[in-house]
Structure 1
Amino acid sequence: MQRILIILPVLVLGACANLPEDRVPGGEPSEAPGLQVAAPESDFAAEDTVLYHLLVAELAGARGDLDAAVQHYLSAAERSSDSGVAERAARIAVYAGDNKAARRAAERWTTLSPQAPGADEVLAIIALRTGELEAATNHLQAVIRASSSLAAGFDEVSALLNREVESGKAIDVLQRLTQRYPEQRSAHYALGETALEAGRPRLALTAANDALSLSPDWRDGYLLRAQAYLATGESELGLADLQRLLRQSPEDYDLRLHYARTLLDLSRTQEALTEFQRLMERRPDDPQVTYAAALLAMDAGELEMAREYLLKMVNSGERADAAYYYLGRIAEQEGDYQGAIRWYSRAGGDYRAEAQLRISLVLAESGDLEQARARLQSLREDDPDLAPRTFAMEGEMLRSAGRLEESLAVYNQALAQSPGNTDLLYGRAMTAVSLDRLDLAESDLRQVIDAEPDNAHALNALGYTLVDRTDRVREGKQLIEQAYNIRPDEPAILDSMGWALYRLGEPEQALDYLEKAHERSEEPEIAAHLGEVLWQLGYKDRARSVWQQVLKEDPDNRFVTETMRRLTE
């Protein structure tokens, strides 16, 4: 029979050239045109009959007729003593989703080759698909036994379960298997890994602990437990497990990289930077580590350090476009506008569009608003996909410059081209507030909220506008509360909550929110609000201190100067 499987592709190619188009040998039209192979004569040898069914199956598969392919493969399998034919029939039936045929072929396979682990794999898949979890568990146990090791077996089973069934069934089967292998750490690990991927970190934590109880020094067990702790929010315990492993293997580069990335995910910037610097000492030419260290240094305010790392990337040619872009960001942050433009101009690839937009911002910041607008117009002509963003930037530049009517006109033009764009609606609403067009502002913000009910910025903006500019203070506070429930640590939202409470005659409660907002942000408007509440509560020295911090940097700040004038007149 092995000869049949070897010569079959040759026969298929020959048969394809001789197939009739639309008639069977008797001369009558075919009821199912397209697949026509003469049936074997009754005196054909059994081997020729098998060959016939294999030939028809291959042709059917080539034409996309899986049902016919499965039936002919199955017929071949039932007539052949070659387990390879039965295996092929079983796998094709599984692929076609014909569980009944797959079961028959797999049973034939096990009859011909009782020790074939692949047959149990197929039977397990069929049982999983039909909801027979105990039967599936039995077959998967056979797969594990046939593997080179228990660890390899559980890896294979985990991959099969994750591929074939949803997480609930996968976990159910793995729990059954761990009951059969309670002393095998690989069983508990497989369960924990699947539970973690399924969003069940507590179950993963239990499984990791069970694995570690069997192998107290097992590296993979600690890594799994660390991930589970992090997923439950117990970050210190997760980090402790990673630190334990690092103490045992301080030279393990991949482990330290994993630890550094974990710190980064937890926003522990300074600690992450320290770890990335250690990694750079080990592998100074690793571009990914250099890049991560550069961004962390920027985030930590270590601009000289960041510049050094980015220039190293430029010199090496690794991720040079990213380096040019971030060197531009550093120059911009330092007020070196010409330097920023030079760096941004060199950024290409995925960073080109963003860099060109930043050049427009730099031009506006340096006072060349018309040149900034011209560049934005050129960008949207070159790339229409950038149009909404360039319009939003242009509108905001004009609003910041006090050219409110022009800003409104830009937003109107943009929304005529992109109606319903929430970024443009939000931008126009902010300009409308500045123009005292509160009706337009409310309409635009409500459109944003209707489209994006969880848009905390829009909820807060509308709520604050109602609190600050109308007598609908309680209605505004309800909107701010919705925003607060979504983003409770956002400084602007904390400020709005405090201001709403103050406007409702509750300055003591307002003070708590405003102090939290001021701790998180140095925005002058927040300082103005905090100072006013402190003043009204009798803490006038503290109020003056808060205001003076702003006036040192910006002596003419309108939020603070107007507040001071109103309270001291």
Structure 2
Amino acid sequence: MFNCWQSIQKERKIFTPWREIALSGLVLFSVGCVSQNGLFKEGHLNGGSQIQVQQSDAHTETTENMLEQHASKIEDQQNTNVVPLKAGDMYQLLVAEMMALKGFEAQAYDIVFKIAYKLRTPELAERAFKLSMKTYNAQKIEAATMLWREVAPEATTPWRASLLIALRQNNVEQALADWQHYRTLSKEPLERDLLIVAQKIGVSAPPKAGLSFLQQLVKAYPETWASYFALGLAADGFNQFDVALKALEKAKIYQTEDSEPQINQFLAKLYLQNPPAKRGIKALKPYLEKNPQDWLVQERLARLEVHDFRYDDAIKRYQLILEAMPDAYTSRLSLALVQLEKEDYKAAEKNLLKVASKKGFSDVVNYYLGLIYQELADTKKALTFFDKVKLGHYYVDARLHQAEIYFSEGEQSRAFTILSETKAEKPDELVKLHRAKAIFYSAAGQQEDAVKEYSKVLELEPNNIRALMNQAMLFYELKQFELYVANLKRVIKINPNEADALNALGYFYVDDLKKLSEAEVLLNKAYQLEPSRYYILDSVGWLYFKKGNYAKAKEYLQKALAIQMDDEVLVHLIQAHWKLGEKKQARMLWQNNNKKFLQNSELQGLINLLESKSKE
């Protein structure tokens, strides 16, 4: 009888580094080399060390059933099941499989590939290929692919892998040649092969080479919907949504009855990623008229309607979906959020409560119920629901709303305690937390503390324009004008078209009277970017006032006041009228509007001041 243990003892010296791994697997063997799964029966000698392989479970992808396939391939004309595999090779393969089970795929591959290269059987070559894929090592994958192609020239998978390797090497021409050979071997329909290859390309090939390859396939199969779909699928994977959308719209021209739903479902996804939403709404409605029960497209169309601010249409569509599928909880949640946007708080509350008990929805539901009750001024209920949000995406926001409620009720210390105790780890959560502290400190008159919190925001996000702008305003209040100017210049450097920063810096230079030419450049650009913002019109008008062009100043200031009744604009316009000798208009403007701004002491004493100056 063949002695397994003696054989193992003879061979184990080859694998000294893996001795413990090998020995740990000896429980697989009992007397006579019988494994736990019964895969190996008692062996016998037949002209050398040979092991008889018995049929294994079809679902077991181990070396054992691979060896059985190897035996069946090379059996002699007498149809024996004897595999001429040396015990040493068998031992090495078993060790390799144990390595793979323990996560050492690269080492397992090295062993299996060496034996596969020596024996040159398709089954071992395939196993080496599968292990190579788990190593994520391009050289190992390529070597295993080439070996499998060589020993199993009729196998399709290695040829598909070959074209992907060629694309990774940016060799589109070779990839196309490999595709052609692959298609001569494949028994799959062309459409299926196109979609499979596209999926692989989307996750493994460089975008430029991958898209170039698929564009060539479009030329090769210009009337096949799947060639365009494949191009769109890969382009979507590369985040080139415009390319994907154009390809899918072309696929729609050649769609079949079977492919129409697939194409429109993908199109609906792409329209969500490619504004404007109204384009997608227009394109998808004819399909839904024919296929009203395609609930996936119905749901995506509802989202497009939300993006296009067609809230009433979206509400009707979500209700239609829920009539057909009452358990579509995501759609019910979406409906509630649209109702919340419409300030239909009772309807939103009703739908949220229907979802509240469902697994995975508790945090989002409790958060939005808290928002509803906060809007309804039921702060006790709001705090209760916010407090139920213990973890996840909405945790920090829920704590911020709790702090906001306490702050607004005069409990400032409690609000700051909540903020201090809130645990935030992700950078975006930390930004929210520091920004909230800055806002509360500013509202409490603690400008210096607010400045520090904005500095913490800027440490995390140096280009956060809102934080820079808000901190700049605090610098202005603290009369730290150099820092104020520095922040505004920093914003303009980040975004030269940031109209608010251009306006703020320009207006500061106008008031300073030292840099009117620079102020003019800044304010003209701000006005070109945002000609309907009243405060920019006010700044331009005040620039002309300071330059002595009172008529032009009046023109811009009147436009500003027509957009927004603002006390500062009012002060400027009254002065422009006065300078133009239009004192009656100035007094009338003051009389009609001064009581709206009793807190503005400059406005209240403006007419007296102007009259006293006229007498000088």
Same fold (TM over 0.5): yes
Choose the corresponding residue for 1:501, options 525, 533, 540: 540
Residue 138 in structure 1 maps to residue 180 in structure 2: no
Name the CA distance, whole Å, in 1 between partners of 2:103 and 2:385: 55
Partner of 1:254 in structure 2? 296
Q: Kindly indicate whether the alpha-carbon contact (under 8 Å) linking 1:480 and 1:496 is maintained by their aligned counterparts in 2.
A: no
Residue 80 in structure 1 maps to residue 99 in structure 2: no
Name the CA distance, whole Å, in 1 between partners of 2:603 and 2:331: 48
Choose the corresponding residue for 1:166, options 178, 197, 206: 206
Residue 47 in structure 1 maps to residue 90 in structure 2: no
TM-score, normalised to structure 2, is 0.66
Choose the corresponding residue for 1:293, options 335, 338, 346: 335
Structure 2 gaps of 5+ residues are 20-47, 51-83, 545-551, 611-616
Name the CA distance, whole Å, in 1 between partners of 2:147 and 2:345: 70
Once the two structures are TM-superposed, the CA of residue 289 in structure 1 deviates from its matched residue by 1.9
Which amino acid in structure 2 is aligned with residue 192 of structure 1? G
Partner of 1:269 in structure 2? 311
Structure 1's 412 and 291: CA in aligned 2 closer, same or farther, altered over 3 A? same
Partner of 1:429 in structure 2? 472
Q: Kindly indicate whether the alpha-carbon contact (under 8 Å) linking 1:222 and 1:241 is maintained by their aligned counterparts in 2.
A: no
Choose the corresponding residue for 1:438, options 468, 477, 481: 481
Name the CA distance, whole Å, in 2 between partners of 1:230 and 1:316: 27
Residue 306 in structure 1 maps to residue 348 in structure 2: yes
Choose the corresponding residue for 1:373, options 413, 425, 429: 413
Which amino acid in structure 2 is aligned with residue 271 of structure 1? D
Choose the corresponding residue for 1:344, options 356, 373, 386: 386
Counterparts of residues 52-201 of structure 1 (less than 5 Å)? 54=93, 73-92=112-131, 105-143=144-182, 146=186, 148-200=188-240
Once the two structures are TM-superposed, the CA of residue 169 in structure 1 deviates from its matched residue by 1.0
Structure 1's 106 and 563: CA in aligned 2 closer, same or farther, altered over 3 A? same
Partner of 2:254 in structure 1? 214
Counterparts of residues 223-242 of structure 1 (less than 5 Å)? 223-225=265-267, 233=275, 235-242=277-284
Which amino acid in structure 2 is aligned with residue 155 of structure 1? L
Structure 1 gaps of 5+ residues are 1-7, 24-42
Percent identity between the two aligned chains: 18
Once the two structures are TM-superposed, the CA of residue 562 in structure 1 deviates from its matched residue by 6.0
Which amino acid in structure 1 is aligned with residue 316 of structure 2? T
Q: Kindly indicate whether the alpha-carbon contact (under 8 Å) linking 1:498 and 1:514 is maintained by their aligned counterparts in 2.
A: yes
Once the two structures are TM-superposed, the CA of residue 260 in structure 1 deviates from its matched residue by 1.0
Name the CA distance, whole Å, in 1 between partners of 2:433 and 2:244: 47
Question: Helix, strand or coil for the counterpart of 1:154?
Answer: helix
Structure 1's 387 and 530: CA in aligned 2 closer, same or farther, altered over 3 A? same
Choose between structure 1 and 2: higher helix proportion.
1
Once the two structures are TM-superposed, the CA of residue 363 in structure 1 deviates from its matched residue by 3.2
TM-score, normalised to structure 1, is 0.71
Counterparts of residues 363-512 of structure 1 (less than 5 Å)? 363-366=406-409, 368=410, 371-381=411-421, 383=423, 392-393=435-436, 395-397=438-440, 399-400=442-443, 403=445, 407-411=446-450, 414=453, 420=459, 427-445=470-488, 456=498, 459=501, 462-463=504-505, 466=508, 469-471=511-513, 472=515, 475=518, 494-505=533-544, 506=552, 510=556
Cα offsets for 1:241-261 (capped at 9, x unmatched): 211121112222222111112
Name the CA distance, whole Å, in 2 between partners of 1:317 and 1:52: 49
Q: Bigger radius of gyration, 1 or 2?
A: 2
Name the CA distance, whole Å, in 1 between partners of 2:430 and 2:89: 65
Structure 1's 301 and 321: CA in aligned 2 closer, same or farther, altered over 3 A? same
Q: Kindly indicate whether the alpha-carbon contact (under 8 Å) linking 2:558 and 2:573 is maintained by their aligned counterparts in 1.
A: no
Name the CA distance, whole Å, in 1 between partners of 2:433 and 2:180: 60
CA RMSD of aligned residues (A): 5.0
